[in-house]
Structure 1
Amino acid sequence: MASEVQILHPRPSSIVAALYTLRDLGVDVVIMHGPSGCCFKHARLLEEDGVRTLTTALDEAGFVFGGQEQLTGLLRRAKELFDPKLMGVVGTCSSMIIGEDLHQSVVDADLDVPVIEVEVHAGYRDNTKGVVITLEAALEKGIIDREEFDRQKFLLEKATEVERLFGAASQEYLAPERGDIKYKATERLLDLMAEGNRGLNILNAKKETAYMFADINAAVAQVAKARGAEVTTLANLDQNKGLAKVRQDAKNILSGLLERGIAIDGIIGGLDEYPIAGDKVARWLAEDDGYDFAVISGVPHAIPIDALEGMEIFSITNGPRQVRPLRELGHQHVLVEIDLHPKTMGVSSIVESEFGATLRGLSELG
C-alpha cells in the first residue's frame, strides 16, 4: 500500500457521494440541511436523474440559532409536493458543526414515508466515506441487506485503494490536462487495425458514465468488423450486480450495444465493480495473451499494467487529473472525454462520445 500523500488539489466531496448513493438506492426526494449553495452543481445534476433535491437554505441566523424547525417543515412540504416513496436527508458541514439533530427533525415531521438520515460532512479524506455512511443508514432502515452492504463496502475499499495507488489521489498535486489529440490517436489505432494487429476492447466504467464510455467500445468493435480486424470486447455490464439503478443502467447499456450488433465476449463484473474488474481481465489474458493493442474506456488505471505488458494502450478517461498518472503507468495514448458526467445524467441510452465519433468519421462509418 502506498504511503499517505498530502493532496493539494480539490477532491470529490463525501456529501456529493452520499447524494449519488441515495439516488442509486431509489430515493425520490433528498433534502440537504445546509446553505443553498452547498453542492449546488451536483444537486442540479441529480434533478436531471429524476431526484428532487431540496435545501433548507441555512443562513447566518440558522448558523447561530439552528434550523431544525426549517428541516421539519421542509420534510412535510416535500411530502405534500412530490408524494415520494422514499426520502433522504443529508447533513452538510454547517449542520454538523452546529450539532443539528437530523433524526429528531424526521421524528417531528411524523411522515408515513421512510427517510434515510445521512449524518455526513465534507471533511473526510476519501469521498467514499459518504457512501459508507449512507449505506449504513440504508441498512438500518432495511433498504438493503447485510450481504449487499458488505459487498458495497468491500468495493469502496478497493476503489479507494485504486485511486491512492494509481489515480488522482496518488500525487500531491496534479494539474488538469486534456490528453492526446483524438484524431491523431484514432489514426494510430486505425493503422494498427490495418496492419492486422489483434486488439482488446475493454469497457471498465463507473456507473452512469458507462452510457458514454460504451460508445467508444462500440465504435472500436464496429470499425474493427468493417475492416476485418480482430478485436475482443470485454465489459463490466453484469445486470445482476449492484444497487437498483446500477443494475438498470447495465441492462440499458448492454441492450444498446446488442442493438448495434456489438458482441460482448466477456463480462468482467458490474458497473460498481470497476475497481476489481481488472482481476478478471488479468485472468482472461493469462489464458489468451496474444493481443497487440488495448482500448480501455472508463477507469483504465484499475486494469493491472502488468497484465497489459507488450500492448500499445489507448486509455480514455473523463478525469483531466488522471492523464499524468496514466502516462506514468505506461499508457501510450491517453484521451479525455471532457464534461462526460453531465452528459450522462438522466439518460437511459448510449450517448455519443467524441472519440467514438472521431473513429467512425475517419473510418467513414459516421
Structure 2
Amino acid sequence: MKYMQPRPSSIVAALYTARDLGVTVSVLHGPSGCSFKHARLLEEDGMRVLTTSLSENEFVFGGQERLIEVIKYAEKEFNPSRMAVVGTCVSLIIGEDLEAAIEMADLHTETIAVDIHAGFPENIDGVIATLEPANRVGWISDEELIRQKELLKKANEVERLRGAAMKSYIEPSRGDLKHVAATRILNLIHEGKKGVAVMNAKKETAYMFADELLGLHDAVPDADIIYSANLELRGLPKVRRDAQRISDELKTRGLQFISQGALDEYGASGDYLGSWIRDMKPDFALIVGVPHAIPSHYLEGIECFSITNGPRQVGPLKEQGHAHVMVEVDLHPRTLGVTSIVESEFGAVLRSLA
C-alpha cells in the first residue's frame, strides 16, 4: 500500500534502537536538520545525538573526512560506553562507507555502523539495520536477534491489519472526552459489573500507560477488576530496566497485576491477551497502549474502553467495535528520559471523579 500520510522514519527507528542497546552517543551522517525533533528528544533520554551537518558541497564530493572528525570528537568529548554511526538519505546517495570511517578514526569505543536511510516503507528496517551490526559485535545474542525480528514482523502485521497503516490515509482524531468515558466506567463499577484492565504498551510509553491502570485502582481499589500488564523482563537492556522499574512502582503503590508479555511484545501478544480476556468473561475492559493488537472477535459482547497515543488510531478502533476510544496527547515526549510512572490525563480524571 502507498501511504498518503507521513509514516515513522527508519532513521529514527535506528536511533531509538541504538538507545535501547545502551549506545550513549550516536552520530547522524547527514544534514543538520535530519531527524531533528527525535534527535533532540533522545538527548533527554540519555543519548547524545551529533550530526556531521553535511552541506551542499559535501552532497556532491562526499563527507568522509567530516565524519571521521565528528566521530573522533564524540569519543574525546563524551567518553561514551558505546557509539553508533547512523546513515541518512544523503550518506546513501553519496555512497559513504560508514565502516571505513569508523576504522580510520581509530576509536577505543566499541562502535557500530548503521547503514540506513528514510526510503523504506516501514520503519522496522531501521531497527533491523541496527540490531544486525549489534549482533555481530556481541551486544545481543543470535537468539535475541531472531526474537526481535519476529516481534517486528508481528508488530508490522498489527499496524497493517488494524492500525494506522491499514489505510492510505486516516483522519486524525482526539477521540472521546475522557471525563465522559471515566464517568461511564465508574458507573459500571458501582453497578457491580466485572472488568479487566490490560496494559499492552510499547516500550517507554508504559511509563504513562501504567498510570491508566493505577488511576483506576486509586479511584476504586475494591472494584471487581483483574489487572494485567506486559511487564515480563525480556528484551534489550533499556526495555528490561523500564519494565522492572514500572513493575516495582505499581506493586509499591498497591496495584496487584498479572504480568503477561514484555514491553517489546506488544504486537505479538494480541491472540494470547484476547483469549485471556474472553476467558475472564468481563462486562467491560480497559485496554491501554496498543489496543488494536487484540483482534476484535475476542472482545465481542464486552464494552471496551481503549486508550492510545495515536490520533490516527481512533478511527480504526471505533471501526473494530471499541465503544470508547481516548488519546493521551504528547504521551511519547513526556515518557522520554523518565524513570518513574508519569500521571496520565485519564488517570487524573478518574482520581478527580472518585
The match for 2:252 among 232, 239, 259 is 259
- The amino acid of 2:255's aligned partner reads I
Q: SS where residue 34 of structure 1 aligns?
A: coil
Instruction: Give the distance between the partners of 2:88 and 2:271, measured in 1 at CA.
Output: 37
Tell me, yes or no, if the aligned pair for 1:28 and 1:51 is still in contact at 8 Å: yes
Q: SS where residue 322 of structure 2 aligns?
A: coil
- The amino acid of 2:289's aligned partner reads G
Equivalent residue for 1:335? 326
- The amino acid of 2:277's aligned partner reads L
Instruction: Give the distance between the partners of 1:289 and 1:77, measured in 2 at CA.
Output: 57
- The amino acid of 1:81's aligned partner reads E
For residue 284 of structure 1, report the CA deviation from its aligned partner.
2.0
The match for 2:104 among 104, 108, 119 is 108
Q: SS where residue 54 of structure 1 aligns?
A: strand
Equivalent residue for 1:349? 340
The match for 1:66 among 43, 54, 62 is 62
For residue 162 of structure 1, report the CA deviation from its aligned partner.
0.2
Tell me, yes or no, if the aligned pair for 2:196 and 2:282 is still in contact at 8 Å: yes
RMSD: 0.9
Tell me, yes or no, if the aligned pair for 2:195 and 2:284 is still in contact at 8 Å: yes
Unaligned runs of 5+ in 1: none
Equivalent residue for 1:299? 290
CA offsets, 1:289-336, max 9 Å, x none? 320000011000001211111110000000001110000011010000
Equivalent residue for 1:244? 237
For residue 50 of structure 1, report the CA deviation from its aligned partner.
0.6
Provide TM-score, normalisation by structure 2.
0.98
Equivalent residue for 1:359? 350
Residue 92 (1) aligns with residue 88 (2): yes
**How many residues are matched?**
354
Tell me, yes or no, if the aligned pair for 2:11 and 2:117 is still in contact at 8 Å: yes
Provide TM-score, normalisation by structure 1.
0.95
The answer to which of 47-56 and 288-297 deviates more is 288-297
Tell me, yes or no, if the aligned pair for 2:193 and 2:284 is still in contact at 8 Å: yes
The answer to which of 166-175 and 277-286 deviates more is 277-286
Residue 274 (1) aligns with residue 266 (2): yes
Alignment of 1:1-366 (within 5 A): 5-225=1-221, 228-239=222-233, 241-264=234-257, 266-285=258-277, 288-363=279-354
- The amino acid of 1:47's aligned partner reads E
CA offsets, 1:335-356, max 9 Å, x none? 0000000000000000000000
Instruction: Give the distance between the partners of 2:95 and 2:74, measured in 1 at CA.
Output: 23
Q: SS where residue 158 of structure 1 aligns?
A: helix
Identical counterparts, % of pairs: 57
Unaligned runs of 5+ in 2: none
Tell me, yes or no, if the aligned pair for 2:283 and 2:302 is still in contact at 8 Å: yes
CA offsets, 1:34-61, max 9 Å, x none? 0000000000011001101000000101
Instruction: Give the distance between the partners of 1:284 and 1:296, measured in 2 at CA.
Output: 13
CA offsets, 1:50-90, max 9 Å, x none? 10100000010110111100000111111110111210000
Q: SS where residue 125 of structure 1 aligns?
A: coil
Q: SS where residue 121 of structure 1 aligns?
A: coil
Instruction: Give the distance between the partners of 1:348 and 1:103, measured in 2 at CA.
Output: 34
For residue 210 of structure 1, report the CA deviation from its aligned partner.
0.3
Instruction: Give the distance between the partners of 2:14 and 2:281, measured in 1 at CA.
Output: 42
